[in-house]
Amino acid sequence: MTENITKKIKSIKFSMLSPNSVKRMSVAKIVTPELYDREGYPVDGGLMDIRMGVIDPGLKCKTCNQRLKECPGHFGYMDLARPVLHIKYLDTILRYLRSTCLECGKILVEEEKIKKHLKNVRDAEQERRYKVKKNLINAFANSIKLVKKCPHCKAKQKKITIEKPSTILEDGKRLTPIQIKARLEKIADMDIISLGNNPESAKPEWMVLDILAVPPVTIRPSITLQSGERSEDDLTHKLSDIVRINQRLFENINAGAPEIIIEDLWDLLQYHVTTFFDNAVAQVPVARHRSGQPLKTLHERIKTKEGRFRHNLAGKRVNFSARTVISADPRIRFNEVGVPKVIAMELTIPEKVTEWNIEWLKGLIKQGPKNYPGANYVIRPDSRKKSITDETQEALLEELQPGYVVERHIVDGDISIFNRQPSLHRMSIMCHKIIILPGKSFRLNPAVCTPYGADFDGDEMNLHIPQTEEARSEAEILMSVENHIISPKNGLNIIGSMEDAISGLYLLTKNMKFSKKDATELLFSAGIVNDEMKDFKNEVSGKEIFSIVIPNDFTFIGTSKNGDDVEIKKGQLIEGVIDKALVGEDNGQLIREIYAKYDEQTGIEFLAKIFKLGIETLLKSGFTIGISDSDVPEKVNKKNKDLIEKAKLKADNLITDYEKGKLEILPGNSMEETLELKITEILNKVRNDISEQVNNSVDENNPTIIMANSGAKGNLLNVAMMSSCVGQQAIKGKRVKGNYSGRALSLFKKGDPSPEAHGFIEKGYKQGLNPYEYFFGAMTGRDALMDVALRTPKSGYLYRRLSNALQDIRVEYDSTVRDAEKSIIQFKYGEDGIDIAKSDGGKINVKKIIKQIKKK
Amino acid sequence: MSDIYVKFEDKLPGRVLEEMKVEAKANKLTDAEITKALNEAVKEYGESLISPGESIGIITAESFGEAGTQMTLDVFHMAGVAEIQVTRGLPRLIELFDARKIPSTPSMEVYLKPEHTKTEKTIRKIASYLKEMKLNEISKEFTLNIMSESIEVELDEKKMRDFGFKKDEIYETLKKNLKNATIKDSKKGFTLKPDTEEINLSILYKLKENAKDALLRGIPKIKQVLPTKKDGKYVILCAGSNLKKVLKMDQVEEKLTISNNLFEIATTLGIEAARQAIINESVAVIENQGLDIDIRHVMFLADLMTQTGVVRGITRGGISGEKESVLARASFETPLNHLIIASLTGGKDNLKSVIENVMVNQPIPLGTGLPELVSSIGDKKEKETEK
HEC readout, A473-509: HHHHHHCEHHHHCECCCCCCECCCECCHHHHHHHHHH
pLDDT at B188 over 80: no
Alpha carbons A406 and A388: distance in angstroms, whole number: 10
Per-residue pLDDT at A215: 92
Our CA-based measurement puts residue A543 at a distance from the nearest CA of chain B, in whole angstroms, of 31
Q: Please state, in angstroms and rounded to a whole number, the distance separating the CA atoms of residues A835 and B297.
A: 11
Residue B383 pLDDT class (50, 70, 90 cuts): low
How many distinct structural domains can be found in chain A?
5
The C-alpha atoms of residue A742 and residue A755 are separated, in whole angstroms, by 14
> What residues 284-323 of chain B have any CB closer than 8 A to a CB of chain A?
292-297, 299-301, 303-304, 307, 314-315, 318-320, 322-323
Mean pLDDT of A567-580: 86
Model pLDDT for residues A254-277, shown as the tens digit of each residue: 888 888 888 888 889 999 999 999
Nearest partner of A339 among A408, A447, A407, A418, judged by Cα: A418
DSSP label of A725: -
Of the candidates A608, A554, A553, A555, the one whose C-alpha atom is nearest the C-alpha of residue A583 is: A608
CA A348 from centre of chain:
27
Q: Which residue has the higher pLDDT, A439 or A37?
A: A439
pLDDT (average), residues A220-233 = 84
Asked if A252 reaches chain B (Cβ–Cβ under 8 Å), the answer is: no
Whether residues A740 and A649 share a domain: the answer is: yes
Whether residues A365 and A388 fall in one domain: yes
Does the pLDDT at position B384 exceed 70?
no
In the predicted model, is pLDDT for residue B76 greater than 80?
Answer: no
Query: Looking at CA atoms only, how far is residue A731 from chain B in angstroms?
Result: 10
Q: How many angstroms separate the CA atoms of A340 and A410, rounded?
A: 11
Does the CB of A669 have a partner CB in chain B at under 8 Å?
yes
pLDDT digits (tens, 9 = 90+) for B277-317: 999 999 998 988 888 899 999 999 999 999 888 899 998 88
Write the DSSP string, A56-111: STT---TTT---TTT----EEEEEEEEEEE-GGGHHHHHHHHHHB-TTT--BSS-H
| Chain B residue nearest residue A130, CA to CA | B322
The top-scoring range by mean pLDDT among A149-153, B130-134, B362-366 is B362-366
pLDDT over 50 at A2, yes or no: no
The shortest CB-CB distance from B360 to any of A9, A798, A821 is to: A9
Question: Regarding predicted confidence, which is higher, A444 or B137?
Answer: A444
Q: Are B151 and B204 in contact (CB under 8 A)?
A: yes
Cross-strand bridge partners of residue A350: A407
Q: Would you call A489 and B62 a contact, using CB atoms and an 8 Å cutoff?
A: yes
Q: Is A528 a member of any domain?
A: yes
Tens of pLDDT, residues A577-607: 888 888 888 888 888 888 888 888 888 888 8
Would you say A464 and A514 are in contact if contact means Cβ atoms under 8 Å apart? no
pLDDT at A439 over 90: yes
Establish if A69 belongs to a structural domain.
Answer: no
Contact A147, A157 (CB under 8 A): yes
Chain A hits for B290, CB-CB cut-off 8 Å, are: none
Task: State yes or no: pLDDT of B378 exceeds 70.
Answer: no
Residue A172 to residue A162: CA distance in whole angstroms: 9
Segment A135-147 mean pLDDT? 82
- At residue A455, the pLDDT reads 92
- Does residue A838 have a pLDDT over 90? no
Domain assignment present for residue A373? The answer is: yes
Determine, yes or no, domain membership for A298: no
> Which SS3 state, helix, strand or coil, does residue A761 take?
strand
Do residues A662 and A520 share a domain? no
| pLDDT for position A5 | 56
Task: Point out the domain boundary residue: A575, A601, A621.
Answer: A621
- Is residue A493 assigned to a domain? no
User: What DSSP line would sit under B174-239, residue for residue?
Assistant: HHHH--SEEEEE-SSEEEEEE-SSS--HHHHHHHHHHHHT-EEES-TT--EEEEEEETTEEEEEEE
Is residue A334 domain-shared with residue A406, that is, in the same domain?
A: yes
Q: Does A688 touch chain B (CB under 8 A)?
A: no
Identify which of A277, A278, A821, A310 has the alpha carbon closest to the alpha carbon of residue B335.
Answer: A310
Question: Which one-letter amino acid corresponds to residue A536?
Answer: F
For A452-458, the CB contacts below 8 A with 24+ separation are A452/A418, A452/A419, A452/A420, A452/A427, A452/A428, A453/A420, A453/A422, A453/A424, A453/A428, A454/A326, A454/A420, A456/A326, A456/A327, A456/A328, A458/A325
pLDDT at residue A3 is higher than 70: no
For residue A639, name the pLDDT band (cuts at 50, 70, 90). Answer: confident
Asked if the model's pLDDT at residue A418 lies above 90, the reply is yes
φ and ψ at residue A76, rounded to 5 degrees: -120, -175
Name the average pLDDT for chain A: 86
Is the confidence at residue A404, as pLDDT, over 70? Answer: yes
- Do A380 and A460 lie in one domain? The reply is yes
Which residue among A803, A831, A846 places its CB closest to the CB of B61?
A: A803
User: Taking residues B223-247, what's their average pLDDT?
Assistant: 82
User: Does residue B192 belong to the interface with chain A, where contact is any CB pair within 8 Å?
Assistant: no
Do A409 and A465 lie in one domain? The reply is yes
Domain of A328, CATH number, reads 2.40.40.20
Q: How far is A206 from chain B (nearest CA, A)?
A: 11
Tell whether A711 and A769 lie within a shared domain.
yes
Write out pLDDT tens, residues A92-117. Answer: 888 888 888 888 888 888 888 888 88
Q: How many degrees, rounded to 5, is the angle at CA A397 between CA A396 and CA A403?
A: 75
d(CA A87, CA A400): 61
**pLDDT tens sequence across A449-462:** 999 999 999 999 99
Predicted pLDDT at B81: 42
Q: Please tell me the predicted confidence (pLDDT) of residue A458.
A: 94
Which of A291-305, A364-378, B28-42 has the least mean pLDDT? B28-42
Instruction: Tell me which of B58, B128, B311 to substitute to probe the interface with A (most A C-beta atoms closer than 10 Å).
Output: B58
Res B162 pLDDT > 80: no
Contact A12 B326 (CB under 8 A): yes
| B41 interaction partners in chain A (CB closer than 8 Å) | 844, 846, 849
Residue A144 to residue A139: CA distance in whole angstroms:
9
Which pLDDT belongs to residue B80?
43
Nearest to A801 among B74, B84, B320 (CB): B320
Q: Say whether both A706 and A743 belong to one domain.
A: yes
Q: Nearest CA to A262 among A274, A248, A275?
A: A248
Say which range, A347-361, A495-509, B70-84, has the weakest mean pLDDT: B70-84
B70 pLDDT higher than 80: yes
| Nearest CB to A811 within list B52, B90, B339 | B52
Q: A387 lies in a domain?
A: yes
Tell me which residue range forms the domain holding A431.
Answer: 321-484
Say if CB A219 and CB A232 are below 8 A apart: no
Contact B259/B265 with Cβ under 8 angstroms? yes
Q: Are residues A206 and A99 in the same domain?
A: yes
Does the structure show a pLDDT above 60 at B83? no
Name the band, by pLDDT with cuts 50, 70 and 90, for residue B387: very low
Whether residue A568 is found in the same domain as residue A702: no
Using an 8 Å Cβ cutoff, are B320 and B314 in contact?
yes
> Does residue A159 form part of some domain?
yes
Residue A685 lies in a domain: yes
Interchain pair A802, B60: CB under 8 A: yes
**pLDDT digit string, tens, across residues A644-689:** 888 888 888 888 888 887 777 766 667 777 788 788 888 888 888 8
Lowest mean pLDDT among A386-400, B1-15, B48-62: B1-15
Size of interface A-B (CB pairs under 8 A): 339
Closest approach of B237 to chain A, Cα-based (Å) = 11
Query: Which residue from A131, A200, A805 is facing B346, i.e. has the nearest CB?
Result: A200
If DSSP states are collapsed to H, E and C, what string results for B234-299? EEEEEECCCHHHHHHCCCECCCCCEECCHHHHHHHHCHHHHHHHHHHHHHHHHHHCCCCCCHHHHH
Pairing of strands A75-85, A26-29: parallel
Q: Determine the pLDDT at residue B283.
A: 93
Q: What is the reported pLDDT for A463?
A: 96
| Cβ contact B307–A807 (<8 Å) | no
* Residue of A555 and A810 predicted with greater confidence: A810
Is there a single domain that holds both residue A432 and residue A533? no
Would you call B355 helix, strand, or coil by DSSP?
A: helix
- Identify the closest residue of chain B to A451 by CA–CA distance: B66
Per the model's pLDDT, the better-predicted residue between A106 and A807 turns out to be: A807
Domain edge (last residue) among A196, A212, A228? A212
| pLDDT number for residue A351 | 93
> A360 and A328, same structural domain?
yes
Residue where a domain terminates, one of A597, A621, A645: A621
Sort out which chain A residues have CB atoms less than 8 A from B57's CB and list them: 805-810, 819
Query: What's the pLDDT band for A428 if we cut at 50, 70, 90?
Result: very high
Residue B147 has pLDDT above 60, yes or no: yes
